[in-house]
Amino acid sequence: MLSNYGTNNIVVMLALGAIMVGLGAYFFSNKFASIPLLIAGILLILFTLWFFRDPERVLPEEAKKDKSLVISPADGKIVEIVEETESFYLKADSKRISIFLSPLDVHVNRVPVTGIVEFYHYNKGDYIIANHPKASELNEQSRIGVKTDFGKVFFKQIVGIVARRLVCELKVGDTVSAGARFGMMKFGSRMDIAVAPDTEIYVKVGDRVVAGETIIAKLKGSN
């Protein structure tokens, strides 16, 4: 299944790929022109279908029963787990888990916890490569805060040096469920999740995580 969040991009990229393949076939007698066009067109079509895929995900049974569990909001690799002050929503000391998405990862994002959206802010920002530590502070990003029965959770969609577009359907007042789709980050990106300092972290740097399926933490507090 292809993501609804990337319809415009999908149409343009598939059309461009088809044009390149068509031109390659038209100039087939000229191998120096046709072969590169055919290869480039086919690769663009395959990349588009791969990048904008949106596979179904099944929330773990454990997470369905225990709402204190935090689910990964993105596919990718854990690149940082640090303690820091989160100043936008938690406004307190926190643990931050950062996930880096390569262009080959699924880029559809899913809500990490069940609760109510209390905070949303979009920041236009810069375009530092997404796995750089400063990307968390400076890059274009959507900032979201959710209040749960076990504490507050703050997470950010952060684009990288290639990406130029974020999609986020959430707004303040929305009731959200862990594992539900909420948006997409296009082309190499990063997702940060900030939780209370006493949160039990289930992942480590270097781990691969899957949005909507991997349990990354357990909240200890209550509201």
CATH number reported for the structural domain that contains residue 97 in this entry: 2.70.70
Q: Is residue 204 part of a domain?
A: yes
Same domain (yes/no): 112, 175:
yes
Same domain (yes/no): 121, 190:
yes
Range of the domain at 33: 4-51
Q: Is residue 194 part of a domain?
A: yes
Beta sheet of 181-185, edge-to-edge order: 108-110, 181-185, 166-168
- Residue of 154, 151, 143 lying closest to 198 (CA atoms): 151
pLDDT band at 191; cut points 50, 70, 90: very high
Phi, psi (rounded to 5 degrees) for 88: -90, -45
Q: Is residue 44 part of a domain?
A: yes
- Residue of 222, 186, 189 lying closest to 54 (CA atoms): 186
Classify 153 as helix, strand or coil: strand
Same domain (yes/no): 81, 161:
yes
Mean pLDDT confidence for 181-199: 90
| Active-site option among 72, 136, 189, 222 | 189
Same domain (yes/no): 43, 129:
no
User: Is pLDDT of 66 > 80?
Assistant: yes
Beta sheet of 189-195, edge-to-edge order: 175-176, 115-123, 141-148, 151-159, 189-195, 92-101, 76-86, 208-209
Same domain (yes/no): 40, 130:
no
Q: Is residue 191 part of a domain?
A: yes
Same domain (yes/no): 40, 71:
no
Q: Is residue 140 part of a domain?
A: yes
- Residue of 105, 112, 101, 51 lying closest to 78 (CA atoms): 101
Q: What string of DSSP letters covers 80-113? A: EEEEEEETTTT-EEEEEEEEEE-TTS--EEE-SS
Name the helix (H) or strand (E) containing 7.
helix 7-26
Q: What is the pTM of this model?
A: 0.85
Same domain (yes/no): 24, 110:
no
Weakest-pLDDT range from 42-46, 109-113, 133-137, 150-154: 133-137
Same domain (yes/no): 65, 33:
no
Percent of the chain clearing pLDDT 90 (strictly above): 69
Q: Is residue 56 part of a domain?
A: no
Q: Length of the chain, please?
A: 223
Same domain (yes/no): 66, 24:
no
Percent of the chain clearing pLDDT 70 (strictly above): 90
Same domain (yes/no): 98, 133:
yes
Query: Any idea which residue has 């904008």 for tokens?
Result: 52
Residue 162 has a pLDDT of 59
Q: Is residue 148 part of a domain?
A: yes
Total structural domains within the chain:
2
pLDDT tens digits for range 128-169: 665 556 666 667 889 999 999 999 999 999 886 655 578 999
Residue 159 has a pLDDT of 82
Told to judge if 98 belongs to the known catalytic residues of this protein, a careful annotator would answer no
Q: Is residue 223 part of a domain?
A: no
Mean pLDDT confidence for 97-113: 93
